[in-house]
Amino acid sequence: MLNPNKRNPAASRLERERASPAARFGVGHDNLRLQGVERRGGFVEGPCRPGKLQVSHPKKVRADQRPEIDAPDDGLHSRILSHMKTFCSRYGLSLKEAEPVGSRKLLIGATVSGEASHELPTFHKKLESGMEILVSRPFGDLAPITAYLSCLADEDYAKGLSEFGLTLEEVEASKKELIETMKVPNLKIGQIIGRYCPDYGKPFSASEHIADTIDVSGPGIYVFKEVADNGAVEIMLDRIPLSYEQCARFVTRNYLMDNATAGTNGAIAIIASPEVTTDVKAALQREGYNGEVIGRVIGRGTGKVSVGPEIENMISSQNLLDEFTIRR
């Protein structure tokens, strides 16, 4: 059980992981984080088409880099490799195979790198009053998973589900549904984002282009504090859409998560003018995504993010709550 008064490491972790922001394309890595995984190796490649996301092998990476895969036995190693091949085939990518590491322990390490034929949507200093924040789907994916595993480990947690109108079977179903969602890469979202970026070397236009993007994954809604800090603006979040709000309330009340808005391979946030977000939202809906506008830029400022009081049902860490301005 987490101590709600324990110092929260979110800010320092965020600084380490996101010190050099880059366009996410839904892949969810920035330059610094990508450098870290490059040292471990493992890349998939695919063809580049104009306006599309290209997954390729960057020149600065050694040509012998391969996925790092290992397992206690050869049979499990073959199964892992087979699943990787199936995944790459499904999304039109090629896999660089590698021999087992030799540790005889379960190990899976792989990533992708991206290139684009247009400018990247990281125009932090172009953020301005009236721009909207559009998210590709609700977030907080880890709450049902945490709730389910905690209930399996301790029956006292399972007994407390009814207080939140939940059953263990419902939580398990939520967990399975979210795992299926997280298994799908955000490539289509990245391709949509690419349509609203300036051509390489061309200037940014607020009426045509996306100003900024970020993935709402590990830090959850704390990523909007990063957006506000980078752009020197103030942001107001009108609502915080969660995949399963009652699960988030459950894990927060029981201090099972200090931040129930966190996820993995999570939603993508897009910041742009209303005319652009309207078009992007329609494009997302055509691809089956439930995109919605959850907030806006309210002007220049010092990185303040204003949220409603419901955030206290989603975050148990007081240190993290103190990073936001809570409307009463």
User: With the C-alpha atoms ordered 30, 285, 123, 302, is the resulting torsion angle positive or negative?
Assistant: negative
Report the domain count for the chain. 2
Q: pLDDT digits over 265-315, tens only?
A: 889 999 999 999 999 999 999 999 989 999 999 999 999 999 999 999 999
Query: What confidence tier does 232 reach under pLDDT thresholds 50, 70, 90?
Result: very high
Q: Which of 182-196, 226-240, 291-305 has the lowest mean pLDDT?
A: 182-196
Q: Taking residues 241-266, what's their average pLDDT? A: 94
Domain encompassing residue 47: 31-115
In a domain, 125, yes or no: yes
Together in a domain, 150 and 281 = yes
Which residues 6+ apart lie within 8 Å of 12 measured at CB? none
Pairing type for strands 233-237 and 305-307 reads: parallel
Question: pLDDT value at position 182?
Answer: 85
Q: pLDDT digits over 112-160, tens only?
A: 766 778 999 999 999 999 999 999 999 999 999 999 999 999 999 999 9
What CATH number is given to the structural domain containing 216?
3.90.650.10
Q: Mapping DSSP to helix (H, G, I), strand (E, B) and coil, where does residue 10 land?
A: helix
Together in a domain, 188 and 50 = no
Is pLDDT above 70 for 191?
Answer: yes
In a domain, 243, yes or no: yes
Together in a domain, 19 and 35 = no
Together in a domain, 274 and 301 = yes
Is pLDDT above 90 for 100?
Answer: no
Together in a domain, 17 and 37 = no
Together in a domain, 100 and 128 = no
Question: pLDDT value at position 113?
Answer: 67
Q: What is the mean pLDDT of the chain?
A: 81
104 torsion bin: left (phi>0), alpha (psi -120 to 50), beta (else)? left
